[in-house]
Every structure is written in C-alpha cells, then in structure tokens.
C-alpha cells in the first residue's frame, strides 16, 4: 500500500517542497518496508545550509483585549473528550505595556507527562495512527495563536501539534534538501522495520556509511506524520499558521460562537462565561 505523506501546511510554506512517498505495505516476510524518496544533501545539521530561514514564531495578537482578561469557562456542544468531559477553559492576560496572550485547555483529563527521551516515540494525546497530529491532548495548555479582537468579535487559532513541541526540541535537525531549505528530525533515507511503537526501524545510508537504527515511534513521528518543523539548527512546532480555529461573539460576560478542532476538523458550537 502506498501512502503519500506531505509536509504540514506550515512546513509547506517554509520549505515549498514535494511530499514524501512511503511504502508501508508488508513484504513477503511480513516485515514492513518504509520506502522514502531520497533527498539531496542528506545529513545532520551542520551541512552547508546557509541562508535557510529559522522556523517562524507566533503572530502577535491584535486588538484591545482588556475586556477579555481573565478566565472563561464553558463547553462545546455535542462534543465529548476522552475523559467524558465537554469542558473548555480559555484564559487571557494583557499586561500593561505588553502584548495580550492567551491559553486554552480542552477537557478535564490529566495533562500528558513531558517527554524525557528524544530517541523514543512520544504520544501526548495517547493515540497512534492517522490522528497523531490532530487528536486533542486533554489537560495540555495550548497557546492561543493569531488572535484578534475588535471589541465584539474574537477570532483565535490553536496548533494541534503543539504538545509535541518539547519532544521536537530534543531532536537533531537533518537536511533533506539544502536547495529547498527542507529539514526533518531524521534523515530522508529508505527504511525498513516494525510499525510497533516499541519496535525499531533501520534507515539505509545511501552513501554506504553506517545505517541508522531508531525507535519505530520516533520514525513514525519524524518520517510518517512529520510532527516537527525543523530549520538548519533545531526542531520545534511552527505556531504561526494554526490549524484549529475559533470565531466567537463577545457580550458582557459571554463568549458564544464556534470552534473547529479535533481529528475530524468539524465545527462545534462553543459557549463560555467569564469575568
């Protein structure tokens, strides 16, 4: 079976490159082959990648958030997080002379533990498979991104991959194509191995040097679902183009509107009350 893996929309903007084709079908022995397109100038950070930009940071909020400062609590209609809760908590601060900032927490489950091993896979939302990068990590404090407020209408974004940021920070950046400024948290080499998160994958060095054996969970995150955005020196999660969005109307003590979030990217009515 062929699976076409493209970079996230954020990474596409950064790198403007083609997707990677992975063959995840089992061979006759039952071993799964992960066949990645070969990228030019493969290797660790430190290759000649001068002139490639760093991963962009978040976009500052716009508008006067004074009337929104505080904690807003409420729920999403007809939605249930894994814990059974439908709760959403949105908080804003606007320090004098500083930029407004906000956070949002989904559900009432326990937050994921921080990653401790960059060589192992990390699944803060507790899921594997196609929903890795879009499933909600209950209890995680997401950053409110690209927010704007005109006194009555509040719009904001959330990056679903943000829980992977501390894991990505533990990774080494590898050049996939210096000409296209494309990087990843593993070399873009052909690989073969287990699809179990506790198994291993061997990446075949095309230059004849030592192969690279990595944990399958890490291989999945770096090569299959590309949860990290890397530049010439490091890896992180890009926060300037969030993929979940909220559009809400403010009246005294109330925020009502809709949010598009979760694995299905479906809209849900959201109702919050605040200070």
What integer pLDDT is reported at residue 34 of this predicted model? 37
What integer pLDDT is reported at residue 95 of this predicted model? 85
Average confidence (pLDDT) over 180-188: 94
Q: Which residue has the higher pLDDT, 205 or 197?
A: 205
**pLDDT tens digits for 47-101?**
445 689 999 999 999 999 999 999 999 999 999 999 999 999 999 998 877 889 9
Q: Both ends of the chain: CA-CA distance in Å? A: 53
Unique residue bearing structure tokens 């490639």 = 52
Sort 150 into a burial class: Cβ within 10 Å, 0-12 / 13-18 / 19+.
exposed
Q: Phi-psi category of 97—alpha, beta or left, where left has phi over 0 and alpha has psi -120 to 50? A: left
What integer pLDDT is reported at residue 129 of this predicted model? 73
DSSP reduced 3-state for 216: helix
DSSP reduced 3-state for 222: helix
For the chain, give the percent of residues with pLDDT over 70.
Answer: 82
Domains of the chain by residue range: 2-45+172-234, 62-166+239-273
Please check the confidence at residue 148 and state whether its pLDDT lies above 80: yes
Task: Compute, in degrees rounded to 10, the torsion defined by CA atoms 251, 107, 161, 190.
Answer: -150
The answer to whether the beta carbons of residues 47 and 30 sit under 8 Å apart is: no
Rounded Cα gap, residues 120 and 122, in angstroms: 7
Rounded Cα gap, residues 130 and 263, in angstroms: 9
Q: 118: which DSSP letter?
A: T
Q: Which residue has the higher pLDDT, 110 or 47?
A: 110
What class does CATH assign to 62-166+239-273? mainly beta
Rounded Cα gap, residues 143 and 117, in angstroms: 24
**List of long-range contacts for 72-75, beta carbons under 8 Å, 24+ apart:** 72/255, 72/272, 72/273, 72/274, 72/275, 73/272, 73/273, 73/274, 74/255, 74/270, 74/271, 74/272, 74/273, 75/270, 75/271
| Residue partners of 260: CB distance under 8 A and separation at least 6 | 244, 245, 246, 266, 267, 268
For 59, phi and psi rounded to 5 degrees? -90, 135
Q: Which of 14-18, 84-88, 195-199, 249-253 is predicted least confidently?
A: 14-18
What integer pLDDT is reported at residue 42 of this predicted model? 40
What integer pLDDT is reported at residue 210 of this predicted model? 95
Average confidence (pLDDT) over 6-20: 30
Beta-bridged to residue 91, according to DSSP, are 71, 103
């Amino acid at each position: 079976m062929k699976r076409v893996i493209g970079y996230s929309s954020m990474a596409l903007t950064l790198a403007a490159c083609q997707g990677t084709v992975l063959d995840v079908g089992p061979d006759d022995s039952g071993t799964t082959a992960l066949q990645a397109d070969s990228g030019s100038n493969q290797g660790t950070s430190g290759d000649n990648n001068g002139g490639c930009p760093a991963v962009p940071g978040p976009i500052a909020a716009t508008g006067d958030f004074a009337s929104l400062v505080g904690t807003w609590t409420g729920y999403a209609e007809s939605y249930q997080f894994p814990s059974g809760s439908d709760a959403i908590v949105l908080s804003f601060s606007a320090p004098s002379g500083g930029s407004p900032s906000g956070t949002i927490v989904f559900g009432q489950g326990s937050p994921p533990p921080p990653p401790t091993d960059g060589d192992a896979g990390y699944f803060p939302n507790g899921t594997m498979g196609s929903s890795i990068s879009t499933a909600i990590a209950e209890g995680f404090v997401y950053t409110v991104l690209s927010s704007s407020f005109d006194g009555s209408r509040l719009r904001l974004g959330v990056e679903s991959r943000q829980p992977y940021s501390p894991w990505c920070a533990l990774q080494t950046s590898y050049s996939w194509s210096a000409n296209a400024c494309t990087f990843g948290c593993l070399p873009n080499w052909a690989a073969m191995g287990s699809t179990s998160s506790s198994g291993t994958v061997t990446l075949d060095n095309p230059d004849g040097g030592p192969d690279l054996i990595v944990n399958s969970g890490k291989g999945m995150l770096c090569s299959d679902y590309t949860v990290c955005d890397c530049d010439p020196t490091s890896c992180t999660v890009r926060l300037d183009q969030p993929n979940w969005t909220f559009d809400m109307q403010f009246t005294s003590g109330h925020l009502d509107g809709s949010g598009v979030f979760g694995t299905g990217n479906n809209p849900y009515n959201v109702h919050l009350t605040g200070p």
